């Protein structure tokens, strides 16, 4: 669910971009399960006087995934709830990683934070399907790797170490933006120790025994960094 | 999407009942397509200080349909968006009716309006499957038959007549409540003229040539009645 004032600001994104963002964020979850999208279903909550429903719908459809249905309602602030439905022969879960698995990410991190969360979302659908061949667990980086690595590790029953100096930084991004900015919608995967890595991922850490998750700098010092929390 | 202050009032329904209502309304859509539910996906938008998420989730699961996933977000008012996923060998659409088809409804109408919209929702899943054998088009009565018959007729490219004196009234319900009160979640089907009707439906009208939809009283006078409109 994307809620005006919580997830987006109508001053920064036009209605088409808001619809696209809602679709892209959900398609990113499909990518993270190594699935192929079949369709989208959307509920829009529209505030009094809002005239952009057609633009929202056009943005929603902009990834070429059919919009199979949905509903409209009155709401106090613009609210979009999108469900992406996909199919996977063998869905890749968050929970299959084991100690010793390497942690890799696609693309670069922090670009959305640098842009003020206005860049188009590019769900990593093709990359998700390809990573399925070597990944033991996968998640999309929606709240910043500092948060999402904790979710992945917890689901695997593991701890983890992330090397902050190895994070692939977007142009102009600080390590903090890359680790905690969120909404980059890259994929974070655990891969078997012996797997051959494609050249479009970056190795950023490792799963470990125990439950401790540490983000360490180049000097080996753990940093207190946390992903974005809607409820914070 | 169910929005506090638009679709429900937290003074009248507890959190379990709100969750159940969100599930029931969506399962009613599955029933209207003569489908079998597979799972539910839910997004909850929770206002500051709200402590009832577990009760919402328990209500959501109360029909025995698995809850496959979802997300939580902050929102200015309690907001529930549920997607029901079902499977039908041959989905029954709103659009298959033809002039001369009889209009039938399940159950009785107006009970929710009489109760102040606090009665549990009972989606007509079994009835939907059974009606599929004789129905040419079907819709669930969510906004009152006065509104939903217009949607059905328009989708069929037909007009329609509804005989208000034949509406099956819930105990204590007026004809107005039965026609316009909404949220009864009964099924309204068009059935072939020669079909044998089950004894648990009531014949309330007929599809006609043209585009005019009339709700007529016992004297044959058309009444100006309209279904509930969230945007009115």
Q: Is the pLDDT of residue A232 over 70?
A: no
Distance of alpha carbon B155 from alpha carbon B93, whole angstroms: 9
Kindly state whether residue A224 falls inside one of the protein's structural domains: no
Mean pLDDT within A156-172:
98
Kindly state whether residue A194 falls inside one of the protein's structural domains: yes
Same domain, B80 and B113: no
- State which of A39, A62, A87 marks the end of a domain: A87
Q: What is the pLDDT of residue B27?
A: 98
Same domain, A83 and A111: no
Contact criterion met (CB < 8 Å) for B3 and A44: no
Domain total in chain A: 2
Q: What is the pLDDT of residue B97?
A: 97
Kindly state whether residue B185 falls inside one of the protein's structural domains: yes
Q: What is the pLDDT of residue B65?
A: 98
Same domain, B81 and B107: no
Determine the residue of chain A that is closest to B86 in CA distance.
A85
Same domain, A71 and A112: no
Q: What is the residue-wise DSSP string for A162-198?
A: EEGGGS-BPTT--HHHHHH-----EEEEEE-TTPPPP
Same domain, A75 and A120: no
CATH of the domain at B46: 3.30.1330.10
Dihedral sign for Cα atoms in the order B150, B111, B174, B191: positive
pLDDT band at A230 (very low <50, low <70, confident <90, very high): low
Q: What is the pLDDT of residue B226?
A: 84
Determine the residue of chain A that is closest to B3 in CA distance.
A75
Same domain, B63 and B122: no
Q: What is the pLDDT of residue B230?
A: 57
Of B3, B71, B83, the CB nearest to A45: B3
CATH of the domain at B118: 3.90.650.10
Least confident of A4-13, A171-180, B222-231: B222-231
Asked if A60 contacts A100 with a C-beta cutoff of 8 angstroms, the reply is no
Residue of A73, A76, A70, A134 whose CA lies nearest to A106: A134
Of B44, B72, B79, the CB nearest to A75: B79
Q: What is the pLDDT of residue B229?
A: 66
- Check CB contact of B76 with chain A, cutoff 8 Å: yes
> How many CB atoms within 10 Å of residue A26?
28
How would you label B7-28 residue by residue, b for 16+ Cβ within 10 Å and e otherwise? bbeeeebebbbbbbbbbbbbbb
Of A1, A75, A76, the CB nearest to B73: A1
Determine the residue of chain B that is closest to A3 in CA distance.
B75
Kindly state whether residue A226 falls inside one of the protein's structural domains: no
Instruction: With beta carbons under 8 A apart, name residues in chain A contacting B45.
Output: 1, 3, 79
Same domain, B111 and B204: yes
Kindly state whether residue A187 falls inside one of the protein's structural domains: yes
Distance of alpha carbon B134 from alpha carbon B193, whole angstroms: 10
Distance of alpha carbon B58 from alpha carbon B225, whole angstroms: 37
Regions in chain B scoring below 70 on pLDDT = 228-232
Instruction: With beta carbons under 8 A apart, name residues in chain A contacting B148.
Output: none
Same domain, B34 and B60: yes
- Full residue range of the structural domain in which residue A34 is found: 2-87
Q: What is the pLDDT of residue B82?
A: 97
- Check CB contact of A68 with chain B, cutoff 8 Å: no
Mean pLDDT within A212-218:
96
- State which of B63, B87, B111 marks the end of a domain: B87
Kindly state whether residue A222 falls inside one of the protein's structural domains: no
A124-136 tens-digit pLDDT: 999 999 999 999 9
Interhelix angle B15-32/B53-60, nearest 10 degrees? 30
DSSP state of A110: S
Same domain, A112 and A202: yes
Same domain, A114 and A79: no
Kindly state whether residue B226 falls inside one of the protein's structural domains: no
- Check CB contact of B68 with chain A, cutoff 8 Å: no
Contact criterion met (CB < 8 Å) for B45 and A79: yes
Q: What is the pLDDT of residue A231?
A: 58
- State which of A36, A60, A87 marks the end of a domain: A87
Same domain, B78 and B106: no
| β-strands A201-208, B2-3 pairing | unpaired
Kindly state whether residue A227 falls inside one of the protein's structural domains: no
B189-207 tens-digit pLDDT: 999 999 999 999 999 999 9
- Residues of chain A above pLDDT 70, percent: 98
Beta strand segments in B92-200, E: 102-106, 135-141, 159-163, 186-191
Q: What is the pLDDT of residue A227?
A: 76
Same domain, B78 and B155: no
């Amino acid at each position: 669910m994307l809620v005006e004032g919580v997830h987006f600001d109508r001053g920064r994104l036009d209605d088409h971009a808001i619809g696209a963002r809602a679709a892209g964020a959900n398609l990113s979850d499909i990518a993270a399960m190594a699935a192929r999208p079949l369709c989208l279903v959307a509920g829009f909550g529209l505030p009094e006087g809002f005239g952009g429903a057609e633009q929202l719908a056009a943005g929603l459809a902009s990834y070429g995934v059919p919009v199979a249905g949905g509903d409209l309602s009155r709401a106090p602030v613009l609210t979009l709830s999108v469900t992406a439905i996909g199919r996977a022969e063998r869905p890749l879960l968050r929970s299959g990683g084991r100690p010793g698995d390497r942690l890799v990410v696609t693309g670069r991190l922090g670009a959305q934070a640098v842009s003020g969360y206005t860049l188009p979302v590019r769900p990593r659908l093709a990359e998700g399907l390809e990573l399925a061949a070597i990944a033991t667990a996968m998640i999309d980086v929606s709240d910043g790797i500092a948060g999402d690595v904790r979710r992945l590790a917890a689901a695997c029953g593991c701890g983890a170490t992330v090397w902050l100096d190895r994070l692939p930084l977007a142009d102009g991004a600080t390590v903090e933006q890359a680790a905690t900015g969120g909404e980059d919608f890259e994929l974070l995967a655990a891969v078997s120790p012996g797997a051959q890595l494609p050249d479009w991922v970056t190795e950023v850490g490792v799963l470990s025994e125990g439950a401790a998750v540490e983000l360490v700098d180049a000097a080996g010092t753990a940093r207190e960094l946390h992903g974005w929390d809607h409820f914070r």
